[in-house]
Copies of this chain bind each other. A is one copy, B any other.
């Protein structure tokens, strides 16, 4: 860790990501990497898909959560952990806390989908309801921290979480050492931060790209301006619901230091890319996981003839509401 910096900006270095890998290995899958000639032909590059959709809880978030939970001192761990996320990070915290045998509280808005509540509950966490807005979520989290002494584990603005997310890229570069490019989706920036630090650390010549939906195109703007920009207003929310989050100063710092380009894609391309991965690679992936391929289909990155690794972030999707079904967005 760069302890000399402001702790609010601290980031893991390669050594921290390697340590995270040793720490999380007993608790997460070493996910397989797939090639698919039919998709290669569509984009004019050779692609390798690191299938974190096949990870514990169905997303890479199991890595960061496990690293954060297993990095806690015995004393802190005893008091448990708390987070606010009704999505994959909430499930990941519940999973990791269960592995360590400590309590977990997950704060989610009242009216969250029953399936998400059931997921977190099945993993043994306690749900606390908040209002819909960020302030209400933060207030309930702070209440839990005060009442229980639990440690807050933020979904991405946390150096241990970022180190854990970087472990997928260590494995990818072990399996396919001669990659020219690595691409990951960008939401709050935890995954791309860990990915880029790991990739540049292991192989300085590799290019790292961040991919996001144009309808949540804040990271493209933030990368250019150097300050955290808000989500665009006046556009429909992207179907890649895992990416509807602005960066934190910490993740922006990692991206500015290590990422070569951030680009965005249309909603149509996300649906097309998602369907292509289902049909051709036979993997169930969520819309967010298809965003890097969507950017390639729209030729947003120059990868002609290159060897490209893609972090396929997760596979948690409602099979009753697929985006290519009529009546769905």
Contacts and interface: CB of A to CB of B under 8 A. Distances in A.
Interface of A: 32, 34, 53-54, 58, 275, 278-279, 281-285, 315, 319-320, 322, 324-325
A172 to B, nearest CB: 15
A315 B279 CA distance: 8
Contact of A278 (B34, B319, B324, B325): B319
Given A32-B32, A320-B324, A325-B325, A315 B282 contact: yes
A23 to B, nearest CB: 21
A281 B32 CA distance: 13
Given A32-B32, A282-B284, 15 more contacts: A53-B282, A54-B281, A58-B282, A275-B319, A279-B284, A279-B319, A282-B283, A282-B285, A282-B315, A283-B283, A283-B284, A284-B284, A319-B324, A322-B322, A325-B325
A58 B280 CA distance: 8
Contacts of A279: 284, 319
Contacts of A320: 324
Nearest to A282: B315
22 contacts: A32-B32, A34-B54, A53-B282, A54-B281, A54-B282, A58-B282, A278-B284, A278-B319, A279-B284, A279-B319, A282-B283, A282-B284, A282-B285, A282-B315, A283-B283, A283-B284, A284-B284, A319-B322, A319-B324, A320-B324, A322-B322, A325-B325
A285 to B, nearest CB: 8
Nearest to A275: B319
Contacts of A58: 282
Contacts of A275: 319
Closest 6 A/B residue pairs (Cβ): A282-B315, A282-B284, A53-B282, A32-B32, A278-B284, A54-B282
A88 to B, nearest CB: 13
A301 to B, nearest CB: 26
A283 B278 CA distance: 9
Nearest to A55: B282
A126 to B, nearest CB: 21
A320 to B, nearest CB: 7
A324 B285 CA distance: 18
A32 to B, nearest CB: 5
Contacts of A322: 319, 322
A275 to B, nearest CB: 6
A325 B325 CA distance: 9
A283 B284 CA distance: 6
Nearest to A284: B282
Most buried by B among A34, A58, A278, A284: A284
A168 to B, nearest CB: 15
Nearest to A115: B279
Contacts of A282: 53-54, 58, 283-285, 315
Contacts of A315: 282
A246 to B, nearest CB: 28
A282 B53 CA distance: 7
A82 to B, nearest CB: 25
